[in-house]
Amino acid sequence: MVVVDKGKCTGCGSCVKVCHEHCMSLAEKRVVIDYKACSTCTQCIAICPEKALSWDRVLPVDFEPALMPSLPQLEELLGERRTIRAFTDERVDRKTIEEIVSWGAYAPTHNFHLRCIAIDNPKIVEAFDRAGDPTGETSV
């Protein structure tokens, strides 16, 4: 659940403006949240300049400005991005899978279900593939 630290909140309204569910409002310069309408997208937490919002009191992580790429670096990275889709049978270790999934939670999906389950057991993955394919065939 999104929690507001009333001691840090300045009532700037940034969270209210970014809320696509319109479940946040300002009342006397204080944030009010309608939790029944909240989809837990956490965009309000990311946008708050005072870090007054948190997820169950887990504060957002500061970004290190010195580690941010420059615009030319981003343009080069995105311009050079290529893939040949030549996957190997080599398994990805669990730690790497968990890291990828945790970063994926930051991506806006407009699905807003932040619960992620990483399945790295080939038999379970195959069963999910079969269950999602009405023909019963697995896709590669």
Residues 108 and 71 in one domain: no
End-to-end CA distance of the chain: 38
> Do 55 and 20 reside in the same domain of the chain?
yes
Number of domains in the chain: 2
- 35-55 tens-digit pLDDT: 999 988 888 998 899 999 998
- 116 with 66, same domain? no
Q: Are residues 78 and 90 in the same domain?
A: no
pLDDT score for 90: 86
Which residue range(s) make up the domain with 90?
A: 86-140
pLDDT at 111 (0 to 100): 47
Distance (Å, whole) CA 59 – CA 95:
23
Q: How far apart are CA 109 and CA 131, in angstroms?
A: 23
Quick: pLDDT tens for 84-117: 777 788 888 889 988 888 777 666 554 455 667 7
- Which candidate, 6, 93, 98, places its Cα nearest to that of 53? 6
Residue 24: CB atoms within 10 Å: 21
Same domain, 53 and 112: no
Q: Does 55 lie in the same domain as 98?
A: no
**Do 26 and 68 fall into the same domain?**
yes
Are 72 and 95 in the same domain?
A: no
